[in-house]
Every structure is written in structure tokens, then in C-alpha cells.
């Protein structure tokens, strides 16, 4: 079964510093990986997705993600954090091959950017 794990419940970073939000995955077959962001009382907004062959994927709002096959990781990164980046971040993997192609989500990481 496909799964993702987000080992950190919360990440704290100072504004202007680089940030990393970690995600590891377990899949049978090719990994189809996604990052979403959620602001309070809102739905999930798509940030970026893994594209086969690209180890560094660029997404919305200056975010990027680094894919590492040997470490089965897909970490979210940003070179310079903004206070407005403070939100809940979810990694997800597609349950591909069944009827639904549904996404399976991690437990989320709360990013807090201090001014």
C-alpha cells in the first residue's frame, strides 16, 4: 500500500532563513507525489508535484521540492521563508492503479515563521 510520512509535527524558522519540511514515501511502483498547503479554515491548495526524472521540482509561491529515490524522500524547501508561509503543509501520494487514483495524505507539518 502507498503511504507517506511527515516526521515533524512542527517546524520553526526565522523569516529570511531557508526552510525544509520533510516527507518520506513508501510505494510499489512509480511514485506520484504532491505537496499541498492549508491555511486556517480553508481547503488544501496544490503547491507542486513530482515529475518523473526531475530531482528538483519548482512550484507555487517560491516553493520547490527535492526528490531523492535512494532515501525515498520528497522534502519541501524554500530558500527564504516569509511570515505569510506560516501554515499547515501536507505531503501526499497517489494510490495509483486502482479505480480511484485517490491521494493518501500525511499527518501534516505546521510551519511557523517568526518575524
Partner 1 sequence: DTGVSQNPRHKITKRGQNVTFRCDPISEHNRLYWYRQTLGQGPEFLTYFQNEAQLEKSRLLSDRFSAERPKGSFSTLEIQRTEQGDSAMYLCASSLAGGNPNSPLHFGNGTRLTVT
- Residue numbers of the site for partner 1 (CB under 8 A)? 30, 32, 34, 36, 41-46, 49-51, 90, 92, 94, 96, 98-108
Residue 59: CB atoms within 10 A of its CB come to 17
Q: Which C-beta is closer to partner 1: that of 15 or that of 88?
A: 88
Nearer of residues 78 and 94 to partner 1, judged by Cβ: 94
- The nearer residue to partner 1, 13 or 33, going by C-beta atoms, is 33
**How near is the Cβ of 17 to partner 1 at its closest, in Å?**
26
Listed in sequence order, the residues at least 6 apart from 88 whose beta carbon sits closer than 8 Å to its beta carbon are 37, 38, 39, 108, 109, 110, 111
- How far is Cα 58 from Cα 77, in angstroms, rounded to an integer? 10
| Min CB(84)–partner 1 separation in Å | 18
- The answer to whether the Cα torsion of 94, 6, 74, 62 is positive or negative is positive
Amino acid at each position: 500500500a502507498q503511504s507517506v510520512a511527515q516526521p515533524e509535527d512542527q517546524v520553526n524558522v526565522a523569516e529570511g532563513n531557508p526552510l525544509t519540511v520533510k516527507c518520506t514515501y513508501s510505494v510499489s511502483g512509480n511514485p506520484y507525489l504532491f505537496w499541498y498547503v492549508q491555511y486556517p479554515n480553508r481547503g488544501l491548495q496544490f503547491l507542486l508535484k513530482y515529475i518523473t526524472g526531475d530531482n528538483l521540482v519548482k512550484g507555487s509561491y517560491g516553493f520547490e521540492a527535492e526528490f531523492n529515490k535512494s532515501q525515498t524522500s520528497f522534502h519541501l524547501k524554500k530558500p527564504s521563508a516569509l511570515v505569510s508561509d506560516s501554515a499547515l503543509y501536507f505531503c501526499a501520494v497517489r494510490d495509483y492503479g486502482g479505480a480511484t487514483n485517490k491521494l493518501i495524505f500525511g499527518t501534516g507539518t505546521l510551519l511557523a515563521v517568526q518575524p
